[in-house]
Amino acid sequence: MASLGVNIDHIANVRQARRALEPDPVTLALLAELGGADGITVHLREDRRHIQERDVELLRATVRSRLNLEMAATPEMEAIALRIRPDMVTLVPEQRQEVTTEGGLDVVSQLGSLQALVSRLQASAIPVSLFVDPDGHQLEACQASGARWVELHTGAYAEAAWAEQPRQLARLEEGSFVARSLGLRVNAGHGLTYQNVEPIAAIEGMEELNIGHTIVARALAVGLQSAVREMRALIQNPRRDPLFSGSTP
């Protein structure tokens, strides 16, 4: 049964649009936990477009579930992670011009530097996850990096046309199988919604789904606690639609 990590970046987006004090992502993280969130995820970007360093510091002091810090593999972010000590670091690719993370980390081409970074973080008792596409070569490189977790990028599945979704789901099922056969633990996220999350939650071995935008959007109508409860119910009791009947190898 997968757990739910609630990404609160989009709450900070609203605040930063006016350079104001509200809505406060730290306060609303508490409401997400009260609604049943198993963890809180934030992406501290190099350009600080939404989450700020002070937010991460306050979240570290107040989050009572788990704090997952998404970050680029840079010396600046490493120093922040080692100082703040989140419960997990997820290394993600980052481009200044993108609206949101657009693809998985290319672990193959950066293996040497990632091995060193993963080693330093995990030596400080901070587990590391790598955000990657469900590609066998990338997953093998993740194992070689020393990371203990991967987060499978679900964007291609989430953005696929209805007829293409089963194929993209099968890629994720295979990716989960390959990752687990390599000794890696498996999370997933990106673009998941109330409408498409259940087949992903039903993948064998899936441990946590990190979801943000759709929960924050739903919260505008029903409140954050209710929005989190609704998503958590879908993840913990997913329907197994016969249209998505692909099986794990």
How many whole angstroms separate alpha carbon 76 and alpha carbon 245?
A: 44
Q: Are 57 and 23 in contact (CB under 8 A)?
A: no
Q: What are the beta bridge partners of residue 211? A: 6
Q: Which of 10, 50, 153, 190 is catalytic?
A: 190
Q: Which of 70, 78, 94, 174 is catalytic?
A: 70
Q: Which of 10, 33, 43, 173 is catalytic?
A: 43
| Amino acid (1-letter code) at residue 33 | E
**Can you read off the two tokens belonging to residue 81?**
């992670």
The question of whether 70 is a catalytic residue gets the answer yes
DSSP 146: T
How many whole angstroms separate alpha carbon 172 and alpha carbon 132?
A: 11
Q: What are phi and psi of 93, to 5 degrees?
A: -75, 155
Question: Helix, strand, coil proportions of the chain in percent (round to 5)?
Answer: 50, 15, 35
Instruction: Tell me which residues are annotated as active site.
Output: 43, 70, 190
